[in-house]
């Protein structure tokens, strides 16, 4: 069915941030074999694969044809000896952990939500709370099958067709459609995490605690009060954790160490009023959350759901930001300038009142794919509702990020300029060289690739 001649009208589509809203023709193939037909009948118009729609901005939207892969979700094979899982692109993190954690296996890298497909995890090269130790999702991808613009299906990995692999990892679906993947899971003894939560009085103490405890734990993350100022600038609650051994569990947990009881979830039933989230309400929430932990250090054993996916219990939480949506601004700064850069960002947030109750700090390790986000240093993520003045503030942050040699996470972006993008991603031209070879006519395109002007033919002329 042609995307242009279809009797089905375009539908409004957005990312998790609900901004921007873009009209698109949608296709939902039932089988991987249907992908060839979709590409052939698209009348040479651009297409793009989209998983669960958990990227935040316009990266997973193609106005002429967005291919929703949620039904391409078969598990194909699993090797109990090596822990290597073969599955289709639409399998979600949720499906993997629910099926394989009771069998003693877990993902080596998981993002902060389990409602992400493996295809999406590769396309954005997602990271977790252990990037400084275990790298991005792509480090644990053994092999993938990619459908090119020509319809040819190519296998690639870090060893086979490696240039194509590293262009696809973090390439946001612009090199082709990921069809099937093989990923390596890691063995676990229990479905629990041995955790430590520590309060820090300010940014210096926060960074010092990362240095002290990261060698002792597999995972680390900090919630930051981005509206605190003065001597409390950068105060935080840090969480460290490692997969628990059976000996770490209580008697009840030891009876079924790999089994979790189902937990109820709740749902945000409506869009919150636009003005509800302001510097005063968020300052009150941040102060409450910071002081809610009375002791400076708390040790506990928690289930993996609570540790890795704390927001997943609140369905449709993006409605908290109102109908206009929100932007998550996630940036990373190199290690040697992280403290200075973070001070300036936090000072700017406090001064301008552009704070949030969801501000997260993590340490990152080395970059994987050519358009992958991580670089050794610290990443800060800030969720901010769409309202007048936001873009002007974010442009200030862009300049600051570029000044310190950092970059913005494209999986979260909805408004970066082409010039800022090129300043932040120095390996872009290497990626573009591969893109131009395999997709010279931009059959795989997105609203983001148009906005950032990373279309093959145009860029070849410039280069």
Please report whether residue 15 resides in a domain. Answer: no
SS3 content of the chain, % helix, strand, coil (to 5): 30, 25, 45
**Residue 429 is assigned to a structural domain of this protein:** no
Query: Does residue 198 sit within a domain?
Result: yes
Going through 25-65 in order, the beta strands assigned E by DSSP cover 26-27, 48-50
Q: Assign residue 236 the CATH number of its domain.
A: 3.30.70.2520
Residue 101 lies in a domain: no
Judge whether 447 and 58 are in contact, CB under 8 Å.
yes
Residue 47 is classified by DSSP as B
Specify the number of domains making up the chain: 1
Structure letter (DSSP) for residue 271: P
Residue 233 belongs to some domain of the structure: yes
Print the domain residue range for 252. 192-418
Residue 230 lies in a domain: yes
Task: Look at the alpha carbons of 162, 165, 170, 172 in this order and tell me if their dihedral is positive or negative.
Answer: positive
Domain assignment of residue 267, yes or no: yes
Amino acid 463: pLDDT? 30
pLDDT, one tens digit per residue, over 25-47 is: 999 999 998 998 998 888 789 99
What's the Cα-to-Cα distance from 357 to each of 88, 223, 279, 376, rounded to whole Å? 36, 9, 10, 26
pLDDT of amino acid 7: 55
- Which regions in the chain score pLDDT beneath 50? 1-6, 458-463
Query: Is there a domain that residue 403 lies in?
Result: yes
């Amino acid at each position: 069915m042609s995307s242009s001649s279809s009797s089905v009208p375009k539908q409004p589509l957005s990312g998790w941030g609900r901004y921007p809203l873009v009209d698109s023709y949608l296709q939902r193939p039932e089988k991987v074999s249907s992908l060839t037909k979709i590409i052939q009948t698209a009348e040479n118009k651009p297409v793009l694969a989209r998983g669960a729609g958990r990227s935040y901005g316009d990266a997973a939207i193609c106005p002429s044809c967005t291919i929703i892969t949620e039904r391409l979700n078969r598990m194909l094979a699993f090797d109990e000896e090596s822990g290597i899982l073969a599955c289709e692109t639409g399998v979600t993190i949720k499906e993997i952990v629910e099926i394989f954690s009771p069998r003693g296996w877990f993902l080596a890298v998981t993002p902060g939500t389990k409602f992400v497909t493996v295809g999406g995890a590769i396309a954005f090269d997602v990271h977790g709370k252990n990037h400084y130790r275990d790298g991005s999702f792509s480090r644990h991808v053994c092999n993938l099958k990619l459908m090119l613009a020509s319809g040819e299906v190519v296998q690639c990995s870090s060893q086979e067709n490696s240039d194509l692999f590293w262009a696809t990892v973090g390439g946001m679906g612009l090199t082709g459609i990921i069809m099937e993947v093989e990923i390596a899971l890691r063995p676990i003894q229990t479905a629990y995490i041995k955790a430590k939560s520590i309060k820090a009085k300010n940014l210096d103490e926060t960074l010092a605690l990362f240095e002290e405890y990261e060698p002792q734990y597999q995972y680390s993350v900090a919630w930051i009060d981005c509206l605190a100022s003065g001597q409390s600038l950068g105060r935080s609650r840090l969480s460290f954790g490692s997969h628990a051994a059976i000996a770490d569990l209580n008697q009840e947990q030891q009876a079924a160490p790999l089994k979790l009881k189902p937990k109820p979830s709740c749902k945000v039933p409506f869009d919150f009023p636009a003005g509800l989230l302001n510097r005063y309400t968020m300052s009150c929430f941040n102060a409450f959350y910071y002081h809610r932990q009375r002791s400076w250090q708390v040790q506990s054993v928690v289930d993996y759901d609570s540790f890795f996916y704390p927001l997943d219990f609140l369905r449709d939480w993006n409605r908290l930001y109102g109908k206009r949506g929100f932007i998550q601004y996630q940036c990373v700064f190199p290690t040697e300038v992280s403290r200075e850069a973070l001070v300036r960002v936090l000072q700017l947030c406090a001064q301008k009142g552009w704070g949030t109750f969801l501000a997260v700090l993590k340490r990152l390790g080395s970059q994987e794919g050519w358009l992958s986000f991580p670089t050794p240093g610290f990443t800060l993520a800030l969720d901010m509702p769409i309202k007048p003045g936001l873009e002007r503030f974010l442009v200030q942050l862009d300049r600051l990020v570029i000044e310190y040699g950092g970059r913005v996470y494209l999986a979260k972006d909805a408004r970066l300029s082409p010039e800022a993008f090129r300043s932040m991603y120095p390996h872009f031209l290497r990626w573009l060289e591969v893109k131009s070879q395999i997709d010279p006519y931009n059959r795989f395109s997105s609203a983001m690739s148009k906005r950032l002007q990373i279309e093959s033919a145009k860029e070849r002329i410039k280069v």
